[in-house]
Structure 1
Amino acid sequence: MAKSILLVGVGGQGTILASKLLTMGLMEAGFDVKMSEIHGMSQRGGSVSSQVRYGDKVESPVIELGGADILVSFEKMEALRWLNYVKPEGKVVVNDYEIPSTPILSGKVDYPAGIIEELSGKVETITIDAGKRATELGNPKVMNVILLGTIIKSMGLEAINWEKIVRDNIKPQFVDLNLRALQAGMYLV
């Protein structure tokens, strides 16, 4: 039976890179993998989503409503936006991180309060602060790899050679930092 992982965030957060690394690792482990990505207005800070499905045989890359085993949200408001895709017995990993949308920045609306509480009331929710952890590691840009680590641990995929995947797909000068970020993410869940 196929497993479904939904990664969501805002343009510029590295959501697509994280899903590509995940897909490569799953393929390396011998799974049939399908990936679908939607960039939206990602170049302008808009919503980005990536759907990764894997198993012995995967027919479609698309996750239907109520079909995701796990939703990993790089930004809090995106978790709420995509929550209806999570199975009732699924889980959400949400990064406690805010990126205000244009209507919020223009003062037309406020950033919604109580998002984490609302998520927790509906589905098993793990809240992490990947931004803080990435800054502690020395580079806020590795937040996406920290979140990839949470997927690996949450889905029981630790046996895959993630070090090889990172080494093969990340610029050499950033490999060690990204390997530390991956480990940090696995430790956070």
Structure 2
Amino acid sequence: MKQARGNVFLAGVGGQGTLLASEVLGEAFLLGGFDVKKSEVHGMAQRGGAVTTHLRFGPKVFSPLIEQGTADLLVAFEKMEALRFAHFLRPGGAAVVNAQEIMPPSVATGRERYPERIEERLAAVTPNLYLIDALAAALALREVRAVNMVMVGAASRLLPLRETCYLEALRARLPERIVEVNAKAFRAGRALMAPHEAGR
């Protein structure tokens, strides 16, 4: 979706850093010369509830909200959240999905079951599905909280910005002491996308 305007829908659960990821992405687009509008829904962010962000960029953006069926890119930090919000994708849109499975309270207490065949069901929604193990990449850096920047790095491969915009955004949005590890996580995310791109 390397274009001059677009809609990016981010989805995760509380504690994954979804909102910070959207802040870094928004800052990167501003640094890249785009107008940006963003809208966040926190849900029960502290209790594993869904956390989503609508992010729109272009020469001029008037509304922050992404209508269902119009998102160019879905960035999902957890598999079930990808399935939950897949209907926001436009036909031919792309989804970057973290392979991690986080059991919500309703599943942990036995009231509901975790969905089956998620990857297969997502592939039926879009042929442009990129499933990556962002958690493993973050753990390799010994910083589990960096999953969000791994996801930003992976998503950046499909967005119309120079890598330097993201790195400058990291420096602008994060405390100096954690910029380096998050920059490494960002680059790890970009590297995770390389095999996908080679196969297309």
TM-score range, shorter chain: over 0.9
Cα separation, 2, equivalents of 1:10 and 1:122: 21
1:139 is the counterpart of 2:143? yes
Cα separation, 1, equivalents of 2:32 and 2:158: 17
Runs of 4+ in 1 over 3 A off after TM superposition: none
Cα separation, 1, equivalents of 2:136 and 2:158: 20
Name 1:86's counterpart in structure 2: 89
Cα separation, 2, equivalents of 1:50 and 1:15: 8
1:59 is the counterpart of 2:62? yes
Q: Cα–Cα, structure 1 residues 130 and 159, in superposed 2: closer, same or farther, change >3 Å?
A: closer
1:152-182 CA-to-partner distances (Å, cap 9, x unmatched) read 1111323543222212221222111001001
- Corresponding letter in the other structure for 1:148: V
| Secondary structure of 1:72 counterpart | strand
- Corresponding letter in the other structure for 1:40: G
Q: Normalising by structure 1, what TM-score?
A: 0.96
1:174 is the counterpart of 2:155? no
Name 2:120's counterpart in structure 1: 117
Identity among equivalent positions (%) equals: 40
Q: Normalising by structure 2, what TM-score?
A: 0.91
Name the stretch that deviates more: 169-178 or 10-19: 169-178
| Secondary structure of 2:85 counterpart | helix
- Corresponding letter in the other structure for 1:91: A
Cα separation, 1, equivalents of 2:173 and 2:125: 36
Unmatched segments (≥5 aa) in structure 2: 194-200
Cα separation, 2, equivalents of 1:72 and 1:33: 17
| Secondary structure of 1:64 counterpart | coil
Aligned length: 189
C-alpha contact (below 8 Å) 1:29/1:160 kept by paired residues? no
C-alpha contact (below 8 Å) 2:72/2:90 kept by paired residues? yes
- Corresponding letter in the other structure for 1:155: L
1:50-75 CA-to-partner distances (Å, cap 9, x unmatched) read 01100101111000010100001001
Name 2:133's counterpart in structure 1: 129
Query: Could you say what the CA RMSD is over the residues aligned between the two structures, in angstroms?
Result: 1.2
